[in-house]
Amino acid sequence: MYKYLDNKMKLLQNRLAKSDLLQRANHAKATGIYPYFREIESEQDTEVMISGKKVLMFGSNAYLGLLNHPKVKEAAIKATQKYGTGCAGSRYLNGTLDLHTKLEKRLAGFVGKDDAIIYSTGFQVNLGAVSCLTGREDYILWDELDHASIIEGHRLSFSTKLKFKHNDMAGLEKQLQRCNADKVKLIVVDGVFSMEGDVADLPEIVRLAGKYDASVMVDEAHGIGVFGKQGRGTCDHFGVTDDIDLIMGTFSKSLASIGGFVAADKVVIDYLRHHSRSYIFSASITPAATAAADAALDIMINEPERLEHLWELTHYALEGFRQMGCEIGQALSPIIPLFIRDNDLTFLIVRELFDAGIFVNPVVSPAVAPQDTLIRFSLMATHTREQLDYAMEAIRKLFRKHHLVS
């Protein structure tokens, strides 16, 4: 019996060991350029400690820099003292707190919708909503650079999936023309694309949705806290909130916590509460995470100078990288892609930047095509101009060394 199980495990291990991803990871480790799972020994801030070394953090999604805000930490501590560390059940059963319903109402009002539903993570929002909103005879239309959670969500759906090239509105229209006019058509896009830092053409998507009677869902994970009035997102930025059917967001970026939500008309949210499996069968978000997100929302609304400074840094960095000769695509946000277009060189430059005291994230295949690999350089409102200047100068020197800029 045990020998049989041992043989089965060896077969599995042998197959996994031969996987392309694992072999590339092992190659990167062997050559000293493996860039993942670096252990941070301090709080997440513009400077972090890794292996006893202080480095500048330009790899965080905390766009407003609220992870260390005293009011956010205090809210999390007080919620833990009152409610404990968890809810020991799903929202559907014993896991709903008054904290949850209060925040859902606030979020719905903030993004301009009737109601909202909170999930334990942003990934679970897209997984659970996209997978169950449409039926077998319906359609899901998605941008090829949509977040992985959207892709996993539509994989679980029985609907027909139609992909269009990134931000290609002519391509989207061609796919809409393939759809049965009498069936549900759901267009799902990121508001801000998480790797490339560019923005969805929401005005044109809304126009096409109206022309072909389609619904629209926008993932605002990287839009909330960055775009729009008081950080309400790209839908607000373009003035199309009323034309968007579902607005999704996360707590793990600007809202300094963990969790996610989707807001829509009451009937849509009520449907999700009773049909979305990643919501019904997951433990509810913790009291601390809920209270932290609520406090961060207060700060986002009441401290507009944070958003103003973030955009000052963003415009400065975008212009600086362009003048440097870096290839940054169509970036329009605090997420700035620095294209390297080579897997190993991307890993090497990430290590060399770390050696220079700068933390950035690599984006390599299969997350992107091998010829599209890049460094993801992201800004926070708490960065200083001096920190940004230091990082940009280090990047200029290394890019020149590797003949990426002249």
54-69 residues labelled b (16+ CB within 10 A) or e (exposed): ebbbbbbbbbbbbbeb
Q: Do the beta carbons of residue 265 and residue 113 sit within 8 Å? A: yes
- Cβ count near 361 (within 10 Å): 17
SS3 172: helix
318, two tokens: 């975008």
SS3 330: coil
Q: Is 183 a catalytic residue?
A: no
Catalytic residue of the set 60, 149, 194, 333? 194
Q: Report the C-alpha gap between 52 and 54 in whole angstroms.
A: 7
Q: Report the C-alpha gap between 258 and 272 in whole angstroms.
A: 20
Q: Is 401 a catalytic residue?
A: no
Catalytic residue of the set 253, 257, 309, 383? 253
Q: Angle formed by the axes of helices 169-177 and 202-211, to 10°? A: 20
Q: Do the beta carbons of residue 143 and residue 190 sit within 8 Å? A: yes
Computed from CA positions of residues 50, 53, 57, 62, in that sequence, does the dihedral angle turn out positive or negative?
Answer: positive
Catalytic residue of the set 222, 237, 309, 383? 222
Cα–Cα separations (whole angstroms), residue 197 to 23, 157, 165, 266, 377: 29, 28, 16, 32, 10
SS3 259: coil
Bridge-based pairing state of the strands 160-164 and 185-190: unpaired
Q: Do the beta carbons of residue 321 and residue 360 sit within 8 Å? A: no
Q: Is 253 a catalytic residue?
A: yes
- Residues designated as active site: 194, 222, 253
